[in-house]
Amino acid sequence: MFDGLKDKLSGFREDVEENAEVEEPAEQDESAAAESAAAESTEDEPAAEEDAAVGETGGDADGDADADDNEPSTFQRAKAFATGRIIIEEEDLEEPLWDLEMALLESDVEMSVAERILETVREKMLGESRKQVETTGELVESALHDALLDVIAVGQFDFEERIAEAEKPVTIVFTGVNGVGKTTSIAKLSEWLADRGYSSVMANGDTYRAGANEQIQEHADRLGRELISHDQGGDPAAVIYDGVEYAAANDIDVVLGDTAGRLHTSDDLMSQLEKIDRVVDPDMTLFVDEAVAGQDAVNRAKEFNDAAEIDGAILTKADADSSGGAAISVAYVTGKPILFLGTGQGYDDLTLFDPEELVESLLGED
Ligand SMILES: Nc1nc2c(ncn2[C@@H]2O[C@H](COP(=O)(O)OP(=O)(O)O)[C@@H](O)[C@H]2O)c(=O)[nH]1
Ligand SMILES: [Mg+2]
């Protein structure tokens, strides 16, 4: 999952490390290093700032061993200049950041998201955080970590808690274009809920496509759930409404309402979604798209959210996606969180989305 992007991120780390090393002063004897540091610190402003930064680090209360016994000597400060934590300059970052931007865009990360990531990385690497890390590698790692998390975690909420606290039945409507995995995700979510003690009923609002009733009925039968459906051509809002009535009468916790996945540009479909909103007033609308669709998925998420406001997204087929662009971009672009990843065709292949976990796996060694 997302291996292509992972490789590209580790490329950035290597780039920065290489560039930073080039800047390292060649072997100097102790006094020469000290002198050059002292000279630099008085001559130009940026160097003076850095010297101050070193001073702060050395004097930190959380006990550097060397700060305990005696104040850091000029030599120690000079040596700090030669370590990764303070020698990264704006110009060292220029090329790696450019390459990182290209890598993100190639991985289908949306432009504004890539820009935001770059901005955060630049800020973190040149700003405060560099005083708290030891090596260039660590600095890159922590900057990338924060920059990715910043865009990926937008809008996150605890889905299970939301279900637990909502008045029952909770109605969830699934939107998205055809073939992305809405119906499969409904079946998976029904199983996910059952595993946590919540009963659910499916309501087939896809009254448009021939064979839609049969397909979802098969899932319902396999899982032992009730399915509410009307004949093909019926009113989707009416089917989901019946689902809610059924759930209320039978003490069912959650109604999972499917919809037809016609083109997001279809006015017809959008007015259908509006009607569902009006008639059923769902507790949640989840947008479903496939991670493999990359940039297209991001654009559709935005358009669906504009037409019938979504509460979150499910990204399916993450098992087949190496770019990771959609997983990184959807939340930032829509302001609504990714809640689940579909990771296969089995009913258990639905994973609660955990931004921190994703970031760690993107930056992980293996
Ligand atoms: N590999 C993989 N396939 C999936 C996933 N989710 C759905 N699919 C497959 O995608 C196809 C379309 O799914 P379907 O639920 O009918 O899409 P819908 O038209 O949006 O309702 C089916 O063959 C599913 O088995 C997933 O997470 N991973
Ligand atoms: Mg379907």
Mean pLDDT, range 152-175, rounded to an integer: 97
DSSP assignment of 103-147: HHHHTT--HHHHHHHHHHHHHHHHSGGGGS-SSHHHHHHHHHHHH
What pLDDT shows up at residue 125? 85
User: What is the structure's pLDDT at 76?
Assistant: 47
Say which residues have a Cβ less than 8 Å from residue 8's Cβ, sequence separation at least 6: 100, 103, 104, 106, 107
Number of compact structural domains in the chain: 2
Dist CA 237 CA 239 (whole Å)? 6
Which pLDDT does position 188 carry in this prediction?
98
Residue 73 has pLDDT above 60, yes or no: no
20 assigned to a ligand binding site: no
Same domain, 107 and 216: no
For ligand 1, atom 17, which residue shows the shortest CA distance?
Answer: 181
Q: Which strands, in side-by-side order, build the sheet including 350-352?
A: 227-228, 200-205, 254-259, 170-175, 284-290, 312-316, 338-342, 350-352
CA 207, CA 259: separation in Å to the nearest integer? 8
d(CA 20, CA 27): 15
Same domain for 125 and 181: no
170 is an annotated ligand-binding site residue:
no
Judge if 192 and 311 occupy the same domain: yes
> For residue 178, how far is its CA from the centre of ligand 2 (angstroms)?
7
pLDDT by residue (tens digit) across 225-273? 999 999 999 999 999 999 999 999 999 999 999 999 866 566 777 788 8
Q: Give yes or no: residues 80 and 173 share one domain.
A: no
Per-residue pLDDT averaged across 22-33, rounded?
48
**178-197 confidence digits (pLDDT tens):** 999 999 999 999 999 999 99
Binning pLDDT at 50, 70 and 90, where does residue 283 land? very high
The yes-or-no verdict on residue 77 having pLDDT over 80 is: no
Identify the domain containing residue 37 by its residue range: 3-152
Protein residue whose Cα sits closest to atom 14 of ligand 1:
181
Provide the whole-model pTM. 0.82
Pair (116, 244) in one structural domain: no
Does one domain contain both 194 and 341?
yes
pLDDT bin (cut points 50, 70, 90) of residue 85 is very low
Last residue of a domain, one of 98, 123, 152: 152
Per the omega criterion (within 30 degrees of 0), is the bond before 72 cis? no
Predicted local distance difference test score (pLDDT) of residue 366? 56
pLDDT of residue 250: 98
Q: Are residues 147 and 174 in the same domain?
A: no
| Domain end among 128, 152, 176 | 152
Residues 143 and 167 in one domain: no
As residues whose CB is below 5 A from the ion ligand 2, the structure lists 182-183
C-beta 320 within 6 A of ligand 1 = yes
Mutate to test the pocket of ligand 1, among 177, 178, 184, 300 (most ligand atoms within 8 A of CB): 184
Q: Are 133 and 180 within one domain?
A: no
Q: Residue 50's pLDDT band (boundaries 50, 70, 90)?
A: very low
Give the number of the atom of ligand 1 that is nearest the alpha carbon of residue 187. Answer: 15
Distance, in Å, from the CA atom of 298 to the CA atom of 8, rounded to the nearest integer, reads: 20
Q: Is 204 annotated as a binding residue?
A: no
pLDDT value of position 263: 62
**pLDDT, tens digit (0-9, with 9 covering 90-100), for 293-330:** 999 999 999 988 988 899 999 999 999 988 999 999 99
Closest ligand, as measured to the CA of 350: 1
For range 121-134, the mean pLDDT: 71
Same domain, 201 and 95: no
Ligand 1 close to Cβ of residue 344 (< 6 A)? yes
Out of 37-51, 87-101, 154-168, the most confident range is 154-168
In the chain, the N- to C-terminal Cα span, in Å, equals 12
Residue 61, pLDDT score: 42
pLDDT at 134: 64
Q: Are residues 343 and 321 in the same domain?
A: yes
Same domain, 329 and 354: yes
- Calculate mean pLDDT across residues 3-16: 89
Are the C-beta atoms of 117 and 169 separated by less than 8 Å?
no
Q: The CATH number of the domain where 192 resides is what?
A: 3.40.50.300
| Residue 205 beta carbon below 6 angstroms from any ligand 1 atom | no
CATH number at 22 reads 1.20.120.140
| pLDDT at residue 74, as a whole number | 52
